Amino acid sequence: MRQTAGTLNRIWLAVLGILVLAVGTALLLQSNGTLHALLNTARFWESVVTGDLHAFFAQPWVAATLLIIGVIIAVLGLLWITAQIPRKNTAGAYRLHDDGSQGFTFCDPSVLAAAVENRINTLPGVISSAVLLRGTARAPDLSLRVTVNDRADVQDLIHRIQSSTLLELSYALEAPLQRSQLQIDISGRTQSTGTVVHSTGTVVQ
């Protein structure tokens, strides 16, 4: 139940895709002579750069410029790799009532998460659950992971969670859930409810 950089990756993939498409289109137009006719560029078989390139790259400012560009690319790559690390991004204290004349009401999201977990753990077939709340009280975001046994009715469980548990949470927050993520795991364990009571006595035969 951790957030990843999916949106960031999609944006960068779109940008890179547009750049690659533009370069490919330019090369195609250059190869068939269309770009030369439109912009009077060099023909496909003509050399674009003439002269000694070694003397050009031997200049100090060229090496410094390439070094700076390399450092910038390395920093951007490091930032991108760091953004790939999954994060929980848990929410801070929810401010449920913000009427200054009557005071403020704050609620720890972990309290609400524990209440949701206890509610879900009573549903048929549920072995355990884990809830994580993000966002704000006005725009809450919920991630839910439920472990059920292999005899559980998954469709009925999803219906119960969506029609009762999530609605109860929305009523408590007085705001609709902006996004809810549900992950269901199947386990071979059996559901355990209640507490075990150990008894002592005398066995009469």
Domain extent listing, the chain: 6-83, 94-187
Strand duo 179-187 + 140-149: pairing: parallel
Q: Which fold, 94-187?
A: GMP Synthetase; Chain A, domain 3 (3.30.300)
What pLDDT score does 46 carry? 67
Interior/surface letters 175-194, b for 16+ CB within 10 angstroms, e for the rest: bebeebeeebeeeeeebeee
Q: How far is CA 126 from CA 5, 65, 168, in A?
A: 31, 61, 18
Give average pLDDT by consecutive 10-residue segment, the chain, 205 residues. Answer: 67 89 87 76 66 75 90 89 71 62 72 90 91 82 89 90 89 83 82 43 34
What pLDDT score does 101 carry? 58
What pLDDT score does 86 carry? 67
DSSP for 105-148 reads EEE-HHHHHHHHHHHHHTSTTEEEEEEEEEE-SSSEEEEEEEEE
